[in-house]
Amino acid sequence: MGTAYIDKPGCEIRLDGDALVFYQNGHREGVVPIKPLKRVVIVGKCGLDTGVLHRLSNEGIQVIMLSGRTLRFRCVLQGRIHRNGLLRQKQYEKSVDRSFSSSLARTIVLKKLKNQCCLLQQALEIKPSAGLHLSEAKKRLLGIIKKIELNQPEQASLMGYEGTASSIYFGAYSRLFHEGLGFKGRNRRPPRDPVNAMLSLCYTMLYADISTEIYIAGLDPTIGFYHGFEYGRDSLACDIEEPFRPEVDRFVWELFRKEHFRDRDFTEEKGGVYLKKKARARFYPLYEEFARPMRKEIQKTLREIIERLMENETNPLSLPD
């Protein structure tokens, strides 16, 4: 199982032996065994007592909270975490080392742009009718990659390169979807069409997964290397998510290309477009199938960052298991 998604407003979650039991209006509606769980995602307002949280924490199961209508990330409740203070000390030291931060930031952006090129190449093979726009966009992205590799820019200039690449990329990416979906490019807060609604939702879900993995690894999620410190933001999670965004884009394209979701699965509310509640029940298992291998790649990425942080460190306890 791995992940339990609880998306029932007013649901009460209770503990019954080795299982979570769900009640709605006083009536028992479902049971989920605790043993196979790694995370519980709670959407909107649900009731639960501290006994449930104590048990999940003791079992090392993360609890992720998302808002009800927009499914925006709220928080992660994490039990036992890695206790390696030296690792965080190194993270803080390296975050203010311009040379280290710039080098890691370039690695992040280059990987993202190369993954975008891979998606455009795949799209060329699947949708040749958009070939002119896709091939031109790929060519321009490859040009930006060469400039970054040649010029070795620091963060401010690097963000300029990435912003230009993003505009080019989404101009081509928008050609992959049916015109009836109204997708002309990236917009958010709120998303104004079904494709942007799905992109925002999937980015949020992946961001939550990344935040939990950062806690488990023993790093501080607020201290990034490409994204600077900003109050209330998990900058390291933003860093790590960047190279995975094209994978989300591919997943979203497949959801619409294979007609798992259509325009009728979305609703317009307060100026934004959101996935309907009934459609979310279909979305969760599809996302879980997508996210399972992504979590392993996230763990691998974190391991690589930790190795760079602890380079030349001889302490055998410096790397978490």
Residues 219 and 310: beta-carbon distance below 8 Å = no
**Per-residue pLDDT of the chain in tens (321 residues, 90 and over written 9):** 588 888 887 888 888 888 888 888 888 888 889 888 888 888 888 888 788 888 888 888 888 888 777 777 787 777 666 667 888 899 999 999 999 999 999 999 999 999 999 999 999 999 888 888 999 999 999 999 999 999 999 888 999 999 999 999 999 999 999 888 888 888 878 899 999 999 999 999 999 889 888 988 889 899 999 988 777 788 999 999 999 999 999 999 999 999 999 999 999 888 889 998 889 989 999 999 999 999 999 999 999 999 999 886 655 444 444
Predicted local distance difference test score (pLDDT) of residue 319: 42
Whole-number Cα distances in Å, 122 to 116, 146, 225, 296: 10, 21, 30, 23
Domains of the chain: 2-77 (3.100.10.20), 85-309 (1.20.120.920)
How many other CB atoms sit within 10 Å of the CB of residue 255? 21
Burial of 230 (0-12, 13-18, 19+ CB in 10 A): exposed
Residue whose C-alpha is closest to residue 38's, from 283, 295, 303, 297: 295
Residue whose C-alpha is closest to residue 1's, from 73, 72, 65, 61: 61
The predicted model scores a pTM of 0.86
Predicted local distance difference test score (pLDDT) of residue 1: 57
